[in-house]
Each structure stands twice: as C-alpha cells, then as structure tokens.
Structure 1
Amino acid sequence: MEIWPAIDLRHGRCVRLQQGDYERETVFGEDPAAMARRWVVAGARRLHLVDLDAARGDDPTENLAAVRAILQAVDVPCQLGGGVRSEAIIEELLDMGLARLVVGSAALKRPEWFAQMCDAHPRRLAAGIDAREGMVATDGWLETSSTPAVTLAKDLRSRTENIAAIIYTDIAKDGMLEGPNLQGLQEMAAATDIPLVASGGVTTLDDIRALVDVDMPAAIIGRALYEGRLDLPEVLEVAGEQ
C-alpha cells in the first residue's frame, strides 16, 4: 500500500485542520519545504499537498511559493489538491513539476469538463471525493451536495478511462484521530475500479493493517504523523513500502 504523508498549506505554513474547519487549525511548521524533507528522509516515496487557501477561494500566492520550495527541496512525486478548478490552473501547476493534481469541487459540478481534462492529461488528475455522511462536500467542505459519493465515482468512471485515482475523505474522520471509515472505503472500492486513496482518520498501525487487509491501494496520513502517534518508518514497513 502506498503511503502519502500530507502537507496542508495555509498562508504558506504547514497546518492541520479538524474536520476541515478553518477555525480549528493547528500550525505544525513555518517551513513546509523543511517538513517535506523530513518526511522524505524518513522514507516517504511521495507527498500529498493541499492548498487550503485556494480550496475556499482565498489568495494562494503564499502557498504556491511553498509548493515551489517543496518541489525544489525533494525528489519524490508530489500531488496537490485545493482550488484546481480551471484548465489554466491545471497547466500552471503541472508545469511547476507536480506529478498529479486532485480536483474536488469541479469534478462534481462539471464532470464533463473534468473528464475532458483527464483525457488531456492522462493519469495526471485524481478526483478528490470528500464525503459528509456519504454525500459529496464541496468548496473547501463548506457546502454539502445531494450527490452520494459512490454515485459521483461511478459517473466519473463512465466518462473517462484516464482518471488517475479517487482520493476519498470522510470529513467526520479527518483530523480526529479516530480511525478511517472502513465501511465507506469498501463501498467506494466496490463501486468502481478507479484506484482508491484512503484519507482521513488513519491514526494507528492497526489502522494501517486494516487498510492493507482490505487491499486498499494507498492511504494519506496527516495529523497522526505530526503528533508522533505514528512513526513513518514503521508505517511504511507495515504497508509493505520498506
């Protein structure tokens, strides 16, 4: 199972939110590039970056500078999500050197456009499907749609073969250190053959083992690494990446 340590960016700093709430922020570092080096030195083979400012329409300038610094600091594939809503942004970010982009709100609101972008950039775009009680949430998790997450996944697969992955986040679990939503993940895995990345709530080595046991292809880990509840080399060993 692939492990993606997360680096969430807000105002150019490395932070974590609880359940996507911008008022429940913890700052874990002023230097995201140093944090990226830390995870790579510990064995990370890839990194998951999130632009929290762009996700809700705020000025992403500081975060884009941080992303450039990360890409210069480490030599592993990095994917970025947050505010990826236009062809111009997609091309700008891919040209920066990012390996993959995560499209969230736009994949739900403009699925035909998202499919066209996937076809234009094969295997470079992933759908970020964030669910609140099984329904897709959008706009930095500020809005909840009436579309079930599994319905969106099936619809996207019907439109394109070139989608790279689905990053599936259960918002109720995100940043809460309560374990992943295995049932929701298994329902999503059963709904489509798109490679799935589990996100939200991974806290213990038993959580890693549980994801491995259900053949989850990949998982993103955030707060548990930052708070020292998980040791990245141990995680990589359990996941079979060491």
Structure 2
Amino acid sequence: MEIWPAIDLRHGKPVRLRQGDYDQQTTFGDDPVEFAIKWKELGAKRLHLVDLDAARGDDPTANRDAVRRIVAETGLPCQMGGGVRDEAAIESLLALGLARLVVGSAALKRPDWFASMCDANPGKLAAGIDARDGMVATDGWLETSTTPAVELAQDLRKKTPNIAAIIYTDIARDGMMSGPNFDGLQQMADATDIPLVASGGVTHYDDVSKLVEMGMPAAIVGRSIYDGVMQLDQVIEIAGDR
C-alpha cells in the first residue's frame, strides 16, 4: 500500500485542521519544506499537499512558492488538492512540477468538464470525494450535497476512463485521531475499480494494518505523524511501501 504523508498549507505555513474547520487550526512551524524533507528522510516516496487557501476561495497563489519549493527540494512526486476548479488552475499547478492534482467540487458539479480534463491530462487528475454522513461535501467542506459518495464514484467510472484515482475522505474522521471509516471505504472499494486512496482518521498502526488487509491501494497519513502518535518510517514498513 502506498503511503502519502500530508502537508496542509495555509498562508504558506504547514497546518492541520479538525474536520476541515478553519477555526480549529494547529500550525506546525513556519516552513513546510522542513516537513517535506523530514518525511522524505523517513522513507516517503511521495507527498500529498493541500492548498487550504485555494480550497476556501481565498488567494489561490498564497501557497504557490511553498509548493514549488517542496517539489524542487524533495524531488518526490507530489499530488495536490484544494481549489482546482478550472483549466487555468490545472495548467498553472502542473507547471509547478506537481505529479497529480486532486479535483473536488468541480468533479461533482461539472462531470463532463472533469472528464474532458482527464482526457487532456491522462493520469494527472484524481477526484477528491469528501463525504459527510455518506454524502459528498463541496466547496472546502462548507456545503454538503445530496449526492451519495458511492454514486459519484460509479458515475466517475462511467464518464472518466483517464481518471488517476479517487481520494476518499470521511470528514467526520479527518484530524480527529479516531480511526478511518472502514465501512465507508469498503463500500467505496466495492462500488468502483478506480484506484482508491484512503484519507482521514488514519491514526494507529492497527489502522494501517487493516487497510493493508482490505487491499487498499494507498492511504494518506496526517495529524498522527505530526503529533508523534505514529512514526512515519514504521507506517511505511507496515504498509510494505519500501
């Protein structure tokens, strides 16, 4: 199973939110590049970045310099989500050297556009499906739609043959150190053969082991490695991601 250490960016700094709440933010120092290099030294082969400013509709360029430096100074494949809502954003972000982009709200609201972007950038775009009580959340998790997450995944398989992956996040578990929503992940895995990346709540080594047993292709780890609950090198060892 692939392990993607997360680096969430706000105003150019590394932060973590609880359940996507911008009022429940913890800032981890001033320079996200330090964490990127640290995760690489501990064995990470790829990184997951989130632009929290762009996700909320704030300045979409606030974190560009940090992203550019992370890509350049680690040399690792990096995927990034947050505010990827139009072709111009896709072009400018890929130009930073990012390996893959995660499209969230736009994949739900404009599926034909998303399919065309996947066709134009095969293997470069993933869909970020963020769910609250099984329903897709949009606009930086500020809105909850009436579309079941599983239904969106099935629609994506029909319409977007060139999609790279689905990053599935259970908002209730994100940043809460409460373990993943294994049932929701299994339902998503059963619904589509698109490669799935588990996100939200991966807290303990047993969580990692269970995801491996489920056959999950990849998982994102965040707050648990920042708080020291898990050591990234051990997570990578358990996942077999050497």
Q: TM-score, normalised by structure 2?
A: 0.99
Tell me the distance in 2 between the aligned counterparts of 1:37 and 1:62.
21
Q: Which residue of 1 aligns with 2:123?
A: 123
SS at match of 1:212: helix
For residues 132-156 of structure 1, give each alpha carbon's deviation from its aligned partner in whole angstroms, at most 9, with x where no partner exists.
Answer: 0000000000000000000001111
Deviates further, 168-177 or 62-71:
62-71
The answer to whether the 8 A contact 1:127-1:166 is kept is: yes
Q: How does 1:215-230 map to 2 (within 5 A)?
A: 215-230=215-230
Shift of the alpha carbon at 1:71? 1.1
SS at match of 2:28: strand
Q: How does 1:38-117 map to 2 (within 5 A)?
A: 38-117=38-117
Q: Which residue of 1 aligns with 2:238?
A: 238
Shift of the alpha carbon at 1:72? 1.5
Shift of the alpha carbon at 1:225? 0.4
Q: Which residue of 1 aligns with 2:5?
A: 5
For residues 163-215 of structure 1, give each alpha carbon's deviation from its aligned partner in whole angstroms, at most 9, with x where no partner exists.
Answer: 00000000000000000000000000000000000000000000000000100
The answer to whether the 8 A contact 2:154-2:191 is kept is: yes
Tell me the distance in 1 between the aligned counterparts of 2:81 and 2:53.
11
Shift of the alpha carbon at 1:61? 2.3
Amino acid aligned to 1:112: D
Amino acid aligned to 2:198: A
Amino acid aligned to 1:221: V
Shift of the alpha carbon at 1:131? 0.0
Tell me the distance in 1 between the aligned counterparts of 2:29 and 2:209.
29
The answer to whether the 8 A contact 1:47-1:76 is kept is: yes
Amino acid aligned to 2:118: C
Tell me the distance in 2 between the aligned counterparts of 1:167 and 1:72.
24
Amino acid aligned to 2:86: S
Tell me the distance in 1 between the aligned counterparts of 2:34 and 2:71.
11
Q: Which residue of 2 aligns with 1:182?
A: 182
Amino acid aligned to 2:15: V
Q: Which residue of 2 aligns with 1:21?
A: 21
Q: Which ranges of 4 or more aligned residues in structure 1 deviate by more than 2 Å?
A: none
The answer to whether the 8 A contact 1:180-1:201 is kept is: yes
The answer to whether the 8 A contact 1:199-1:220 is kept is: yes
- Segments of structure 1 that go 5 or more residues without pairing to the other structure are none
The answer to whether the 8 A contact 2:17-2:24 is kept is: yes
How much is the aligned-residue C-alpha RMSD, in angstroms? 0.6
Amino acid aligned to 2:52: L
2:194 matched to 1:194? yes
For residues 45-92 of structure 1, give each alpha carbon's deviation from its aligned partner in whole angstroms, at most 9, with x where no partner exists.
Answer: 000000000001001322111101111110110000000000111011
Q: Which residue of 2 aligns with 1:30?
A: 30
Amino acid aligned to 2:92: E
The answer to whether the 8 A contact 1:123-1:164 is kept is: yes
The answer to whether the 8 A contact 2:200-2:220 is kept is: yes
Percent of pairs identical after alignment?
Answer: 70
Tell me the distance in 2 between the aligned counterparts of 1:185 and 1:221.
15
SS at match of 2:91: helix
Tell me the distance in 2 between the aligned counterparts of 1:61 and 1:215.
37
Q: TM-score, normalised by structure 1?
A: 0.99
The answer to whether the 8 A contact 2:53-2:62 is kept is: no
